[in-house]
Structure 1
Amino acid sequence: MDADFLTRLGQATTEAEREWLLLEMTMGQLSAEVETAVWATAIPHWFDILYLAAILDDPQLDSLDQISSLSFIEQYPGRGFNMHERSRRYFLDNLWQKNPEQFRLYSARAAAYCAGQNLSKPEWRVEQIYHLLISDPQQGS
């Protein structure tokens, strides 16, 4: 940990600020490719390699092992993985504030991926509608 990080951590006034700083520190240690993929994992409620590759538009994605080893990524029984809910909220809030276009793009890709799944299963239909409401509110409503 460098002095700047410790200063910022000491100046944090809320638990949420401290948690975000720790997440930022973790992200700063990742390669650019893995960091981008981690941001994308916040978009869906769960993901596997195919879902994440669709969100990133990267059919050759091979960083799932690195991503799944992070402390804020959890096993999601029957579906693969998910980002811990509190961490997910920090990532989504940050992405929405700093790059809403990217948020919408990832959400549009997630909705498109969901559309290719079995929409008679409620979990896929709900997931698709959720992402449509973000990426294209008129179509999602």
Structure 2
Amino acid sequence: MNHELLQKLAKAQTDEERSWIVTESLLSTLSPELAAAVWAVVVPHWFNAEILAALRPELLSTSSQLYTELQALPFVEEFPDRGHNVHDLTRNLMLKHLRQERRDEFITLSQRAVEYFGSTNEQPETQIEWLYHLIVVDQEWEGGELWDLAQNWDNNFRVAELESLITALLEQVAAEQVATPAKAEVYYWAGKAKFRVYRATEALELYEAALAFYRDIGARLGEANTLQAIGILQENLTLGLEYCQAALELYTQIGTKYSQSRNLIYFTSEILLKLGRQKEAVDALNRAIDIAREIPYQIFVEDATAKLREIQENHDFHSQNHEFH
């Protein structure tokens, strides 16, 4: 270790500074081509020769050789079934430097990663990696692709995939690489992921963060969805009803009939029944049926009708004011 390097280390005040000094010193010993390859492969979570070529097309002719050389570096390790990756400590240090000091290069590499993983996103891991880079590159992005993928996995109880997706996206949020609209969507789905594994306290905290972001940008549909999600989590039924009714009011103002009917059938009426307010629950279900018929959405009509019959059978709840539509 040379004298200049020792002096720098002696002056460093934090472990991160010392780690970066050592990393920078090692990088300075590499050939320009190998150094360029290292800076590229810290952007994705894993890499192989094909990914390296996609990120550094100017090195296409030597990508296989460079991939072999990368594997010999002390901070590169095997990534099972996918190739290799840069060790987390080194990767995080280099990413921080890229984001702050070489921003244009970082965005270029991230855009190439979007193009590569977007063209091969048939597997969950590549879909996650694609969104991980997309959320950085497109600052106008409002989370539509995230919503579609997360909703699909949530509906099919693919909890592990959903949690992996959120973990990856929260990495970009923590690095302050994400605009507020997408950040709100990430926190909303992070709450959903925690809800799926019965971690209500963590889910509630994430929903509250999402709600603040949605309100900050005036995203009323996102605000309504989150209010409803918070209402479902409340142990206090009266408070839960208030949240669900606030969501319903927003859905009504926005004019989303699907969400209005769904709210009335599966959330508002359920809480009203638990509170023993059967008449209001019946009124909510009848209203839901009317709205569902306007859409039209027959499944909601059938579900609401079934619940009305169940109320009538279980509570012997008959009166002229509660007739079915």
Between Structure 1 and Structure 2, which shows a larger proportion of helix residues? 2
Contact 1:51 1:113 in 2 (8 A): yes
The whole-number CA distance in structure 2 between the counterparts of 1:114 and 1:140 is 19
Partner of 2:16: 16
Q: 1:91 aligns with which of 77, 90, 94?
A: 94
Unpaired runs of at least 5, structure 2: 144-325
Aligned partner of 1:88: which letter? Answer: R
Deviations 1:31-63 (A, max 9, x none): 011001001111000000001110112321231
Q: Are residues 140 and 79 of structure 1, via their aligned partners in 2, closer, same or farther at CA, if it must alter by over 3 Å?
A: farther
% same residue: 34
Higher relative contact order, chain-length normalized (CA < 8 Å, sep 6+): 1
Partner of 1:66: 69
Runs of 4+ in 1 over 2 A off after TM superposition: 137-141
SS in structure 1 opposite 2:77?
Answer: strand
| 1:112 aligned onto 2:115 | yes
Offset at 1:140?
7.1
The whole-number CA distance in structure 2 between the counterparts of 1:7 and 1:13 is 12
Aligned partner of 1:110: which letter? Answer: A
The whole-number CA distance in structure 2 between the counterparts of 1:39 and 1:87 is 11
Partner of 2:261: none
The whole-number CA distance in structure 2 between the counterparts of 1:25 and 1:103 is 21
SS in structure 2 opposite 1:26?
Answer: helix
Larger radius of gyration: 2
Contact 1:48 1:81 in 2 (8 A): yes
The whole-number CA distance in structure 1 between the counterparts of 2:141 and 2:118 is 13
CA RMSD, 1 decimal: 1.3
Q: Are residues 22 and 140 of structure 1, via their aligned partners in 2, closer, same or farther at CA, if it must alter by over 3 Å?
A: farther
Count the aligned residue pairs.
Answer: 140
Offset at 1:26?
0.8
Partner of 1:121: 123
Q: Are residues 84 and 140 of structure 1, via their aligned partners in 2, closer, same or farther at CA, if it must alter by over 3 Å?
A: farther
Contact 1:108 1:132 in 2 (8 A): yes
Q: 2:82 aligns with which of 64, 75, 79?
A: 79
Identify which range, 42-51 or 61-70, moves more after superposition: 61-70
The whole-number CA distance in structure 2 between the counterparts of 1:6 and 1:112 is 42
Contact 1:129 1:140 in 2 (8 A): no
| 1:133 aligned onto 2:132 | no
Unpaired runs of at least 5, structure 1: none
Q: Are residues 126 and 137 of structure 1, via their aligned partners in 2, closer, same or farther at CA, if it must alter by over 3 Å?
A: farther
Deviations 1:74-133 (A, max 9, x none): 10000000011111110000011111111000000011000121x231111110011111
Deviations 1:9-31 (A, max 9, x none): 11111111111111111101100
The whole-number CA distance in structure 1 between the counterparts of 2:122 and 2:53 is 23
SS in structure 1 opposite 2:78?
Answer: strand
Aligned partner of 1:65: which letter? Answer: T
Contact 1:9 1:21 in 2 (8 A): yes
Q: 1:102 aligns with which of 101, 105, 118?
A: 105
So what's the TM-score if we normalise by structure 1? 0.93
Q: Are residues 10 and 102 of structure 1, via their aligned partners in 2, closer, same or farther at CA, if it must alter by over 3 Å?
A: same
